[in-house]
Amino acid sequence: MTEIDSGDVTQDVLRAVAGAIPRFQYDPQRSTFRNWLFTVVRSKLNNFLAGLARRPRLAGDTTIEHYVATEPDAAWEETWQREYRANLVRWAAERIRAEFKSETWNAFWQTAMEGRPGDVVAAELGISLNALYIARSRVTARLKQTVDELEEDASLLEGLAHG
């Protein structure tokens, strides 16, 4: 898929969303707006790939067609959700970072986000392992609270926009 093709698919998605939004009825019992948007994106991407299949291919052409054809829809959904969650956590982390001392933040970041061993990080920071776990726990609790608030706010906005 070329950059031009990506732009065309993006325009198709935006056109479809703009056309469907006036009729969109948000029902949190059925699904989330994010899942609906994922379905629209997947549909437009499949339409594009079907069009590619009808076109003759030149030697050396590369597309993501093989990738899409071999990956089940559930895997796409899982990837979509995982990337959304990871971006939400990173955004929330940056939002709360200033609330913590540098040492506390580094203890959390290096162990929870980078996966470094606690004993190594504690030694580098010059703190006890127990102090590291307490710091990590404090930041983790605050991060979870922030993510929950953001998701709640997003749900409220979706409900207001479509209710």
The residue that leads in pLDDT, 143 or 13, is 143
pLDDT tens per residue across span 51-88? 766 666 555 555 555 555 555 567 777 887 888 888 88
**Is CATH 3.40.50.720 the classification given to domain 73-163?**
no
- Residue 8 carries which side chain, given as an amino acid letter? D
The ranges assigned to domains in the chain are 1-70, 73-163
Q: How confident is the model at residue 11 (pLDDT cuts 50, 70, 90)?
A: confident
Count of C-beta atoms within a 10 Å radius of residue 15 = 11
| pTM confidence score | 0.54
Tell me if 73 sits within 8 A of 42, measured CB to CB: yes
Q: How far apart are CA 107 and CA 139, in angstroms?
A: 9
Q: How confident is the model at residue 158 (pLDDT cuts 50, 70, 90)?
A: low
User: What torsion, rounded to 10 degrees, do the Cα atoms 90, 91, 92, 93 define?
Assistant: 50
Residue 133 has pLDDT above 60, yes or no: yes
